[in-house]
Structure 1
Amino acid sequence: MGVVESLTDAELAGQLPHADKAAVKEIYIRYKESLLNYARKMLGDDDLAADTVSDVFANLLTNQQQLKINTSLESYLYRSVKNSVLNQFDKEQHRQRYVNSIKEFYSRGTHATDELIIERELKHRIENAVAAFPPKMREIFDLSRKEHLSRKEIAQVTRVTEGTVNTQLNRALKILRSKLTSILF
């Protein structure tokens, strides 16, 4: 086993800005088949799926020095395939066909992998955002969401007014919304 093969996904992603073609090759070896299957399920066409995945890897190779992967490598690749498929449908004006194929795709229950990746990423982003809250805001948020206390009970426990509790919760939710918008949409 070579050096590149022993690297984690995060380490491989870290090699991309250094124009490491061996890293791109290893990423291709690891993800080509699963990305092809993912694209096939959405497109229903082997040739289009192969073209889509090839385009994603060509883009990865071409733009690797400018890439900023803020998620897991796996999530980035799946999202790239998904975005490429969406762009194809937009260009070809087959949005309805896509909607129907996605409904069928999800009704068969084969969406579990995609949902698990998104769920893990959402959980990670929420935890990071909450951890970055100021201490009082984090305390109030945790009492509301983890302890399920009412705003009045939170005010009593933290010895602040209900208005302060409302303000802190509204600010916390606004921060979370802004942090999560990019992954959800």
Structure 2
Amino acid sequence: MNRYSTYPDTKLLLLLKDNDSQAFAEIYARYCQDIFNYAIVLVKIPEMAKDLVQDVFIKIWEARGKIEIEKSFRNYLFRVCHNRAYDIQKEIAQNRHLREQLINYYEPVIEPEALSQEGDTPYGRLMQQALNSLTPQRRRIYEMCKHDNKSYEEVARELNISPNTVKNHMSNTLSFLRDYLKEHKKLTPILIWLLQKIF
């Protein structure tokens, strides 16, 4: 058994101040999972939570000679994590790619089929806006298939086009609607959350 694992935090910190790397390794092993669990709550994105954990322990190593703990070392680590997470949240707010990762974390992709019957609700109105953005022919094909429950063959006969053309229109329309709903439904609540965190 590694004797360091039996030491209380107070002794590990004293050893850490003397540049004992094994004491640091024990502190990391003892608390890295707790800090990760806290980090994922704060920043949501797993990759960023892992980076946050590394940042916390790098800071602990770099400040090892100056650390003064009055009560709980675990709570001290959480405070360091929280402070660093605040900087990361500002970074997310300013980085489109990171915002998109955060948006994807919060809500799954919305399927247009799930919203097509929503009517006068925020989701239903959003679906209507998306449909209004379609070309007249694509919207007609979509409504014939989804609202009138017609097969591709039936739509093709009525519009005098091939079933394969109907299929391609539907595939492109559903892809467009998913992207539209994903972008417009998710942005507002997430940006509000980010602004609250920053200001």
Normalised by the size of structure 2, how large is the TM-score? 0.45
TM-score, normalization by structure 1: 0.49
Name the larger-Rg structure. 2
